[in-house]
Amino acid sequence: MSGDFDRSQLRRIGSLRDPAQEEPTYEEYHPDGTHAWSDDAPIAPDWFPYNRCEVWECAGCGRPFLRYTEFGGYYTDERIRELRAERVARPPHAEPPSGTAAG
């Protein structure tokens, strides 16, 4: 991620969050040992943090961005990453999203 854009130019165009999922999984998808928000990490919409991201677009250049806001007790942590089609991956879940609804 880079900071070479003006956040005030961003406008919200949608969300990756599935309204049917009350508590999206916190599992991450990193087959190549990347970390969340690594520049080369896969963007897996069904996996954390993308399953809680909103999609924003830069009004200046039209580039789409993923934006995730983490709400802690006394802080909010905002992450923004450019949405690049070649990074998007849709792997199946190796494990069920939560242990409560199995079978």
Out of 5, 28, 48, 64, point to the residue binding Zn ion (CB under 5 A). Answer: 5
d(CA 68, CA 82): 12
The one segment of 1-9, 21-29, 38-46, 47-55 that binds Zn ion by CB under 5 A: 1-9
Identify which of residues 8 and 100 has a Cβ nearer to Zn ion in the complex.
8
5: left (phi over 0), alpha (psi -120 to 50) or beta: beta
62: left (phi over 0), alpha (psi -120 to 50) or beta: left
Considering the complex, what minimum distance in angstroms separates the CB of residue 57 from Zn ion? Answer: 9
Answer for the pair 28, 46: CB distance below 8 angstroms, yes or no: no
Window 61-90: contact mask with Zn ion (x via CB under 5 A)? x-----------------------------
d(CA 53, CA 13): 11
Identify which of residues 50 and 56 has a Cβ nearer to Zn ion in the complex.
56
Binding site for Zn ion (CB under 5 A): 5, 58, 60-61
